[in-house]
Amino acid sequence: MSKFDQIQEIIKKLPVAFGVEEVALEDAYNRILRENVVADMDMPPFHKSAMDGYACRLEDIENSLEVLEVIQAGSFPKIIPGKNQCVKIMTGAAVPNGCDCVFKVEDSEEVDSKHVKCTNPKTAKNICYQGEDYQKNEVLIEEGTIINTPQMAVLAGAGYSRVKVTKQPLISVIATGSELVEPARTPKPGQIRNSNTSQLVSQLRQMNLRVVDKLMLADDFELLTATFLKALINSDFVIFTGGASVGDFDFIPEILKEQEFKFYWDNTGIKPGNPMTFSEKKGKYVIGLSGNPVSSLAQFEMIAKPAIYQLMGANYSPLRILGAMAFDFTRKKADRIAVIPVIIDSEGLISEIPFHGSAHINALVSANALLEVPLNINTIKKGDNAHVRPL
Ligand code: AMP
Ligand code: MG
């Protein structure tokens, strides 16, 4: 099993670490559901007309029919039509007992002021039957679902004006590197702008997570330790970028060891982005991402995101699409899973874009997916199938 697959197994076993809170339905979008949503009634709750037309008995479809009343959506029929009788009915209105067919207005002709006739005796029945969408007590949405637009509609339809969701974890982001300056500054020789914080904050925001504290620190062991410990007090997660590797000033793993954090992994088996730590102490989690922007992006997308979702009790499985290669891919070493920025088009064709490696974040501006190159695979030929993950 690849290191990356081992990590996915570890992630699946992480506990649900965050509690539950109740929010108003309007605030539930993109939160994680922490209760099963159960139907309190059948849907539709009554036999409902699918058309504007006339409700009658199918056996009378070829006859002239007496029109007894008009039933509007929202009202309930009072009269039960008998032989050669019908009611005029609107879309969404309840079909009267005894009627097993609705023929459309377009399929009707007036016989006189009180009678109509169906001009299409082969009409469909045009009835949505009670309980055909779901039945009372059915589980409509399972606990752990990430609430998207359809779930919002189903929650509303099932009467969930308040919804149990996972409490929002408190997250601090610390960008480390003595070379970093804020985006508003012009870097002096040897310096670069901090792009990882903006990148990471947006990845978290896409998960509907907010960052409580954003810090940028030089590679100074004492300063990093002190600031980290302070940030930890008000955080459930601390996410570092930079200093994750084995360079002279890569202090993050060392600090975590000194603070007796338990390591779940310290490398990922993906390229770019091998050095990454995931550690925990007393229910607080620390994620140490690489400094290189593409590495950090890939580590978050492929590993940190599923791990955070797991800890939040979400059933998350990233979308992967099987496409066809529009170019030949080759690499010398195949000892890690590679992720390569690519473009996948509407036909599923995967095209190459210029990419120089882990620092080349600009390449991702035109990419819309990451190509996954499996372990021990050196070449993927033009026309072969391969998996991509949409970005
Ligand atoms: P590190 O992981 O600290 O060894 O950093 C690897 C590379 O990523 C170096 O070239 C850093 O300058 C760059 N880097 C580190 N942190 C950031 C950041 N916050 N924004 C942009 N580049 C970074
Ligand atoms: Mg560094």
Closest C-alpha to 107, from 96, 98, 116, 97: 116
As a whole number of angstroms, the distance between CA 209 and CA 309 comes to 11
DSSP state of 350: E
Residue 199 beta carbon below 6 angstroms from any ligand 1 atom: no
Statement to judge: residues 343 and 204 lie in one domain: no
Residue 247 beta carbon below 6 angstroms from any ligand 1 atom: yes
CA of 357 to the centre of ligand 1 (A): 13
Statement to judge: residues 183 and 299 lie in one domain: yes
As a whole number of angstroms, the distance between CA 273 and CA 67 comes to 73
Statement to judge: residues 152 and 176 lie in one domain: no
Pick out the chain residues at pLDDT < 50: none
**Ligand 1, atom 3, residue with closest C-alpha:** 242
Do the beta carbons of residue 48 and residue 94 sit within 8 Å?
A: yes
pTM for this model (two decimals): 0.94
Statement to judge: residues 177 and 280 lie in one domain: yes
- Return all residues near 112 (Cβ < 8 A) that are at least 6 apart: none
Residue 244 beta carbon below 6 angstroms from any ligand 1 atom: yes
Residue 179 beta carbon below 6 angstroms from any ligand 1 atom: yes
CA distances from 295 to 312, 349, 360, 364 (A): 24, 25, 10, 12
User: Which two three-digit tokens encode residue 43?
Assistant: 């849907």
**Ligand 1, atom 5, residue with closest C-alpha:** 291
Statement to judge: residues 350 and 294 lie in one domain: no
Statement to judge: residues 341 and 259 lie in one domain: no
Statement to judge: residues 92 and 224 lie in one domain: no
As a whole number of angstroms, the distance between CA 297 and CA 339 comes to 11
**Is 34 inside any structural domain?**
yes
Statement to judge: residues 191 and 275 lie in one domain: yes
H/E element, 308? helix 305-311
Residue 288 beta carbon below 6 angstroms from any ligand 1 atom: no
Question: Quick one: pLDDT at residue 246?
Answer: 83
Whose atoms come closest to the Cα of 192: which ligand? 1
Question: Quick one: pLDDT at residue 288?
Answer: 98
What's the CA angle centered on 13, arms 8 and 18, to 5 degrees? 110
Question: Quick one: pLDDT at residue 12?
Answer: 98
Question: Quick one: pLDDT at residue 239?
Answer: 98
CA of 295 to the centre of ligand 1 (A): 10
Residue 175 beta carbon below 6 angstroms from any ligand 1 atom: yes
As a whole number of angstroms, the distance between CA 182 and CA 166 comes to 33
**Is 14 inside any structural domain?**
no
As a whole number of angstroms, the distance between CA 106 and CA 81 comes to 21
Residue 192 beta carbon below 6 angstroms from any ligand 1 atom: yes
CATH (domain of 342): 2.40.340.10
**Is 189 inside any structural domain?**
yes
Could you tell me what percent of the chain has a pLDDT over 90? 97
Statement to judge: residues 175 and 250 lie in one domain: yes
Question: Quick one: pLDDT at residue 69?
Answer: 94
As a whole number of angstroms, the distance between CA 311 and CA 11 comes to 9
As a whole number of angstroms, the distance between CA 334 and CA 31 comes to 38
Tell the residue number behind the tokens 């039945």, with chain if given: 135
Closest C-alpha to 305, from 190, 389, 377, 195: 389
Question: Quick one: pLDDT at residue 83?
Answer: 97
Statement to judge: residues 214 and 149 lie in one domain: no
pLDDT digits (tens, 9 = 90+) for 268-282: 999 999 999 999 999
Boundaries of domain holding 25: 19-41+139-166
User: Which two three-digit tokens encode residue 266?
Assistant: 């310290």
Cα-Cα-Cα-Cα torsion 358, 360, 365, 370, nearest 10 degrees, comes to: -30
CA of 228 to the centre of ligand 1 (A): 18
With 0-12 / 13-18 / 19 or more C-beta atoms within 10 angstroms meaning exposed / middle / buried, residue 110 is exposed
pLDDT digits (tens, 9 = 90+) for 234-256: 999 999 999 998 888 899 999 99
Name the domain count of the chain. 4
Question: Quick one: pLDDT at residue 249?
Answer: 86
Which string of b and e fits 144-166 if b means at least 16 CB within 10 Å?
bbbbeeebbebbeebebeebbbb
As a whole number of angstroms, the distance between CA 311 and CA 297 comes to 20
Statement to judge: residues 160 and 208 lie in one domain: no
As a whole number of angstroms, the distance between CA 79 and CA 68 comes to 8
Which of 311, 330, 346 is at the close of a domain? 311
Statement to judge: residues 188 and 257 lie in one domain: yes
